[in-house]
Amino acid sequence: MISAIERLQQALFTGEKAGKADAALVTSEENRFYLTGFPSSAGSVLLFPEEAYFLTDFRYAEAARRVVRGCQVVCIKKMNDTLKELLQKHGARSVLAESERLSLKQARAFEKAFGEAGIAVTADDTLDETLTSLRMIKTPEEIQKLREAQKITDDAFTHILDYIKPGRTEREVALELEFFMRRQGAEGVSFEFIVVSGTNGSLCHGVPSDKPIQAGEFVTMDTGALLHGYHADMTRTVAVGHVSDEQRHAYDMVLKAQLAAIAAAKPGVLCGDVDKAARDILEAEYKGAFEHSTGHGVGVEIHEWPMFAAGNKTVARPGMVVTVEPGIYLEGKFGLRIEDMVAITETGCEDLTHSPKELIIL
Ligand code: ZN
Ligand code: ZN
């Protein structure tokens, strides 16, 4: 298995993109982590066709040498000076930069520093697009990291079922989920958890409040553990005490839509068609109640490519890991969502989420 750095070198310096530039400079935290597997708040990865460097300062250099493979770790004092020296050493006349994630200030600083040495900074979309398409296809090792992050998330769901009772607040449930995941070894949480109940359930990205959960309400929990730098993402909706026929029917429809989208998620289909599989079912009866996309890619960031979104022409391919998360949000009444993470395989998809999803009434 070749490293992420080697894959990027191949994609940039051989084949149709060859000749665009002599070097590439990756400075964003997410892409640095993706390439090196080493989390750091500062640094950059400089790639040439024949060599790669991870430049960081004394806080990280020693630890990085123990972890980072496939590139030389260089301890720097002044980043731009060292970058310029290396570019000159390799005879580079042009360097690709990340247009999407570079601040204007950084871009100007690079242009000034490298320009003096006659090296052009190319901040078109080449580097961003190449990294995006590499990151879309997860390696078996990356999928295993997501599986392990999801395992903690599944275990937290099992745990919380005994904890949720009338009178507990949304915030208490969110905190208990987080404590549990961290006790199980999670490095952190994938995002600020969403725990919403009753009429708050229609706020699809609602913030947990001090509202006590009451009998007859849905509780929607959108959570995920962060492990090995990879983000799990799962939503489950449970009911407390009892449910109305209207709630039960809405739940059945969301589950039906979710299962239809998972069945549609296989190599060769358009990502937009996976969205459509869920949307057609919900729009027939709940028009306007499901306005977000059916799913998003997930990995070193909680939201990445591809999207299971209406009209998306991206073709699903093995290695993509995408959420499937239809929901219904009825203002003033209730809301619910069911979300799994699936990995596209050679023949269909593997559901990385194992928590039950038939309606649970606590
Ligand atoms: Zn989620
Ligand atoms: Zn999600």
What's the gap in Å between 224 CA and the centre of ligand 2? 9
For residues 275 and 310, is the Cβ–Cβ distance under 8 A? yes
What's the gap in Å between 292 CA and the centre of ligand 1? 12
What's the gap in Å between 354 CA and the centre of ligand 2? 16
What's the gap in Å between 254 CA and the centre of ligand 2? 15
Residues whose CB is under 5 A from ligand 2 (ion)? Answer: 233, 323
| Cβ burial 181-219 (10 Å sphere, 16+ → b, else e) | bbeeebeebbeebbbbbbbbbbebebebeebebeeebbb
Compute the distance between CA of residue 342 and CA of residue 345 in angstroms, rounded to an integer.
9
- State which amino acid sits at residue 200: N
**Chain segment 35-57, per-residue pLDDT in tens:** 999 999 999 999 999 999 999 99
Whole-number pLDDT of residue 8 = 96
Whole-number pLDDT of residue 17 = 84
Residue length of the chain:
362
| 306 cis-preceded (ω within 30 degrees of 0) | yes
Ligand nearest to the CA of 192: 1
Tell me the H-state helices in the chain.
4-13, 29-36, 61-67, 79-89, 104-115, 126-136, 140-163, 170-183, 245-264, 271-283
Ligand nearest to the CA of 322: 2
What's the gap in Å between 223 CA and the centre of ligand 2? 9
For residue 227, which of 194, 181, 295 has the smallest C-alpha distance? 181
* Strand residue runs (E) in 193-274: 194-197, 218-223, 225-227, 230-231, 234-239
Q: Which helix (H) or strand (E) holds 260?
A: helix 245-264
* Strand residue runs (E) in 72-115: 72-75, 94-97
Strands 349-351 and 340-344: antiparallel
The residue ranges of the chain whose pLDDT is under 50 are: none
What's the gap in Å between 244 CA and the centre of ligand 1? 25
Ligand nearest to the CA of 194: 1
What's the gap in Å between 299 CA and the centre of ligand 2? 11
CA 30 to chain centre: 10
Whole-number pLDDT of residue 137 = 97
What's the gap in Å between 221 CA and the centre of ligand 1? 8
pTM, 2 dp: 0.95
Ligand nearest to the CA of 220: 1
Ligand nearest to the CA of 321: 2
Ligand nearest to the CA of 308: 2
For residue 339, which of 135, 140, 157 has the smallest C-alpha distance? 157
What's the gap in Å between 234 CA and the centre of ligand 1? 5
What's the gap in Å between 221 CA and the centre of ligand 2? 11
What's the gap in Å between 360 CA and the centre of ligand 1? 19
The DSSP code for 316 is P
Angle at 36 between CA 231 and CA 55, to 5 degrees: 130
What's the gap in Å between 106 CA and the centre of ligand 2? 31
What's the gap in Å between 233 CA and the centre of ligand 1? 5
What's the gap in Å between 246 CA and the centre of ligand 2? 25
What's the gap in Å between 323 CA and the centre of ligand 2? 6
Whole-number pLDDT of residue 20 = 87
Whole-number pLDDT of residue 268 = 98
Whole-number pLDDT of residue 361 = 98
CA distances from 280 to 34, 252, 273 (A): 36, 15, 10
Q: Which residues are 344's β-sheet partners?
A: 349
What's the gap in Å between 348 CA and the centre of ligand 1? 22
Ligand nearest to the CA of 294: 2
Ligand nearest to the CA of 302: 2
What's the gap in Å between 55 CA and the centre of ligand 2? 33
For residues 58 and 82, is the Cβ–Cβ distance under 8 A? no
Structure tokens at 49: 């066709």
What's the gap in Å between 234 CA and the centre of ligand 2? 7
Whole-number pLDDT of residue 205 = 85
Whole-number pLDDT of residue 124 = 86
Whole-number pLDDT of residue 173 = 98
Compute the distance between CA of residue 140 and CA of residue 236 in angstroms, rounded to an integer.
26
